[in-house]
Amino acid sequence: MWRTRAAAACVICRSLANSSYGIKRKSPLQNLHLVSRSIHHPYYPSSKFQRPPLRISVQLFSSLNRLPLRKTKLLNVKYGYQFHRNFWLARLASRLLKLRYLILGSAVGGGYTVKKTYDQWKDMMPDLDEYKWIVPDFIWELDEHIDFEKLIKALPDADDLAKLLPDFDKIGESFTSLKGFFSPGSPGETAFRATDQGYDNDKQYKKVSDKEKIDQLQEELLRTQLKYQRMLERLEKENKELRKLVLQRDDKGIHQRKLKKSLIDMYSEVLDILSDYDASYNTQDHLPRVVVVGDQSAGKTSVLEMIAQARIFPRGSGEMMTRSPVKVTLSEGPHHVALFKDSSREFDLTKEEDLAALRNEIEIRMRNSVKEGCTVSTETISLSVKGPGLQRMVLVDLPGVISTVTSGMAPDTKETIFSISKAYMQNPNAIILCIQDGSVDAERSIVTDLVSQMDPQGKRTIFVLTKVDLAEKNVASPNRIQQIIEGKLFPMKALGYFAVVTGKGNSSESIESIKEYEEEFFQNSKLLKTCMLKAHQVTTKNLSLAVSDCFWKMVRESVEQQADAFKATRFNLETEWKNNYPRLRELDRNELFEKAKNEILDEVISLTQVTPKHWEEILQKTLWERVSTHVIENIYLPAAQTMNSGTFNTTVDIKLKQWTDKQLPNKAVEVAWETLQEEFSRFMTEQKGKEHDDIFDKLKQAVKEESIKRHKWNERAEDSLRVIQHNALEDRSISDKQQWDAAIHFMEETLQSRLKDTESVIEDMVGPDWKKRWLYWIGRTKEQNIRNETKNELEKLIKCNEEHAAYLANDEVTTVRKNLEARGITVDPCLIKDTWHQIYRRYFLKTALNHCNLCRRGFYYYQRHFVDSELECNDIVLFWRIQRMLAITANTLRQQLTNTEVRRLEKNVKEVLEDFAEDNEKKVKLLTGKRVQLAEDLKKVREIQEKLEAFIEALHQEK
């Protein structure tokens, strides 16, 4: 039943459609069309209700062929309608239909022309698939952050768009009021014809204006790019402020939690360790970093400063300023600061005084790193720059390449700079940032040839043309700049090409003013407007983003290989240690120094454990050895030549007083200081059996020498010691027989020692006696024979007068000389006197020893002051006084040693060890050997591997 009704409805619809053409009033077809389509038609394959698409309604009223209107055959209208012939109405309808075709045809034709023009422009664009790395990653990830489906749903649907189209029925009704205007021969008909002819003229005009439209589209595209770039910069600025707030909040919470190191800081630490690592096992540093190379004054430093957003480097007009490699680690932080690796001072880069101080410090470090006779240095200065919005990367600024060595430079400066540049660029993972000065002729470039040698394929080179503003003014043909940026002028190849402006040449310009000048220049530059330069190839901002992305791409590709290489090196070193030192711990140089430091301090503490008796015995013995010659020669012998005891005592007192005031205290302090040194050296050099490690010997010797050099005895000690010694020598009262016997024993030992020395001197003078001549077949020389004959004559003289004085008279010398001449021996008077001195000395010492034996029983007479006694023992009292002075002096010095000087020496040793601990060169010099070097390499390799693994783990987490 429903299908029958539907078929009948369809018949009615078709009949109405056929009979309604040309009716003046509104046709019922439009009222029934949607309804009829919504009914199930047996003629349609789908019975499902479908809303007619927008394109169907458009196709009903569009045509691109502009076919002529055919004459419509009017049908007889049934159902009570009578058709009236009216030619002006037909003409009006034809004009209306023609106007409709013109309007819609022009719209569609214009759309087609625009689409064709866009396709042609699109085909002209280069393929940028190889340069996708230049565009930041977050651009490709916008679909993850923006919900495009919501945007599509927010757009109006087809019905809403259909409502926006004009109501052609109302347009038809409005045109009825213009029938007079469109009558035959009227101006309206003429206007329609003119419009018809104008359509053909428009078609020709569109062909002529295609080029202008392309130019307009290019300008529009450029303005759109600049617009979106400004939007990106605004978003980045807002993001920078937000990150700054977040980092400041983290900065305030450092005391609550340990602040996690940033990824770039972890990577920079690895590079710092590698720079100090002595690669003895062919483990090369292939970790990526951005190596900045260029000719001198090409603008390398300016590019770095623009990337770091601060004027941090020393500047000079034409002279060489970069004298050593400078490693700059850029990272994000809440404040814009800079600090050196070996210093805790932070330079605030927002303050001009801190910037000046930083530049001065960099210049001082550069000059200090340059050795005498050189111009540049290979020593790397490590600098970290933190700030909001900085791109994370590690850059190394190298000295500028020169072509000629000028006056004041070392002769090998040019070769040294080349070798430094090659050493950094030969790293297969290093990104080469080649800086070329755009204001000079390209043929004068030196660095491009060097870069092309190190990276002939250009897989890791980024070319930067600086001073483009000057180049645009000075270069006659702008196409030359385009050739440079397209890589067609230089023989080198590069991964990307960039053009930048780094200021107007004024060193006092701020970074912000330079950025504004650069943006303004490129916005108005003909190079960009004429498409010689692309928008993504200009400004240091785009350069910084591209270099950072390339850097991290290279890091992700190579860091794991480097970690594996160091893992293999670690295994080799551990195997070598186990084979050579299986029972020893792997102590590096610092750990060995700490061990040696503890041993040295223990040995210094051992000085306090020396017994007082040992100190006093050593001091007394050493002091007497030092002063005995003076006592015998200058005090005892002159006093013994006197005739009575009173004169003897007076002479002794005078000479002892003089000796005490001038020499004795100073000698005593010297003896004490030498004794302390000897005991300290004994403890330091004493081997402790199997526990002794000879690897510390050089260090201990250096510590001992430096500590002794720094130690100074208390100056007040001599004054107090002088008083004590003077009082001791004035005392003559021997209290008991034991002290008397001890004095006699002390005197006998001293005299016997002197007699032995005198006998040895006489033997050297006169030669061997007859026993040695017979047993050892040794003869006398001529001079010894003369001295022997002289000795015999002098001995006869002493036998004749046993109380002879200590000196020969002139007549006695003459008598001895004549007696020898009578036997044919010619003798000089000086030889006679010299021989007499030794002969008389031996005679006197023997006489004094005999007198000592007599005085053994003289203590009784001493107590009675030798009254009614022929025995006089004043010499025994003298030696007792000397012996007692020695004992008291030794005791006083021992107290000074144990109470003051040992502690001061211990303090000096600690200071020396602390100074040595901070001096790495000193430690390397004093702790040497294969064992030390192997442990050092093993420690460094382990540290590098561990930091690399931690960095790789953090890198994966960031992904």
Q: CA angle 460-465-471, nearest 5°?
A: 165
Task: Answer whether residue 379 shows pLDDT above 70.
Answer: yes
The pLDDT of 207-213, averaged and rounded, is: 63
Query: pLDDT averaged over the chain?
Result: 77
Query: CA-to-CA distance for 485 and 434, rounded, in angstroms?
Result: 12
User: Hey, is 234 helix, strand or coil?
Assistant: helix
> Among 150, 149, 166, which Cα is nearest to 99's?
166
pLDDT band (50, 70, 90) for residue 619? very high
| CB within 8 Å of 425: residues ≥ 6 apart | 291, 293, 432, 450, 451, 454, 455
Reported as a single tens digit per residue, the pLDDT across 724-772 is 999 999 888 888 889 999 999 999 999 999 999 999 999 888 888 888 8
Q: What's the token pair of residue 851?
A: 């007198």
pLDDT of amino acid 293: 92
Q: Where are the alpha helices (DSSP H) in 459-588?
A: 468-474, 479-485, 511-524, 526-529, 540-580
Reported as a single tens digit per residue, the pLDDT across 94-111 is 666 666 666 766 666 666
Query: CA-to-CA distance for 481 and 442, rounded, in angstroms?
Result: 10
pLDDT of amino acid 97: 64
Question: Mean pLDDT lowest for which of 140-154, 610-624, 670-684?
Answer: 140-154
pLDDT of amino acid 689: 59
Residue pair 417/402 in contact (Cβ under 8 Å)? The answer is: yes
Query: CA-to-CA distance for 524 and 518, rounded, in angstroms?
Result: 10
> Using the 8-state DSSP alphabet, how is residue 582 labeled?
T
Name the percent of the chain lying above pLDDT 90.
13
| This prediction's pTM | 0.55
Side-by-side strand order, sheet with 347-348 = 347-348, 337-340, 381-386, 326-331, 393-397, 290-294, 431-437, 461-466, 496-499
Reported as a single tens digit per residue, the pLDDT across 537-560 is 888 888 998 998 998 888 888 888
Question: Mean pLDDT lowest for which of 276-285, 594-603, 606-615, 788-797?
Answer: 276-285
Rg over CA atoms, the chain: 56
Residue with token string 């130019």: 215
The pLDDT of 877-884, averaged and rounded, is: 92
Element containing residue 645 per DSSP (H, E): helix 645-662
Query: CA-to-CA distance for 294 and 433, rounded, in angstroms?
Result: 8
Dihedral, 502, 505, 509, 515 alpha carbons, nearest 10: -20
Task: Answer whether residue 7 shows pLDDT above 70.
Answer: no
CA distances from 175 to 33, 389, 757, 769 (A): 25, 65, 154, 164
> Among 291, 288, 287, 269, which Cα is nearest to 564's?
287
Task: Answer whether residue 45 shows pLDDT above 70.
Answer: no
> Phi first, then psi: what are they for 152, rounded to 5°?
-65, -45
pLDDT of amino acid 858: 80
CA distances from 427 to 274, 288, 942 (A): 13, 8, 22
> Among 654, 453, 435, which Cα is nearest to 547's?
435
Query: CA-to-CA distance for 503 and 511, rounded, in angstroms?
Result: 9
Query: CA-to-CA distance for 849 and 678, rounded, in angstroms?
Result: 34
Query: CA-to-CA distance for 398 and 421, rounded, in angstroms?
Result: 7
Task: Answer whether residue 76 shows pLDDT above 50.
Answer: no
pLDDT of amino acid 49: 40
Query: CA-to-CA distance for 219 and 466, rounded, in angstroms?
Result: 25
The pLDDT of 590-608, averaged and rounded, is: 87
User: Which residues is 383 bridged to in the sheet?
Assistant: 328, 340
Residue with token string 């001038």: 662
Query: CA-to-CA distance for 345 and 365, rounded, in angstroms?
Result: 15
pLDDT of amino acid 446: 84
Between 603 and 124, the more confident residue is 603
Question: Mean pLDDT lowest for which of 550-554, 601-605, 890-894, 908-912?
Answer: 601-605
Question: Mean pLDDT lowest for which of 195-199, 296-300, 568-572, 887-891?
Answer: 195-199
Task: Answer whether residue 883 shows pLDDT above 50.
Answer: yes
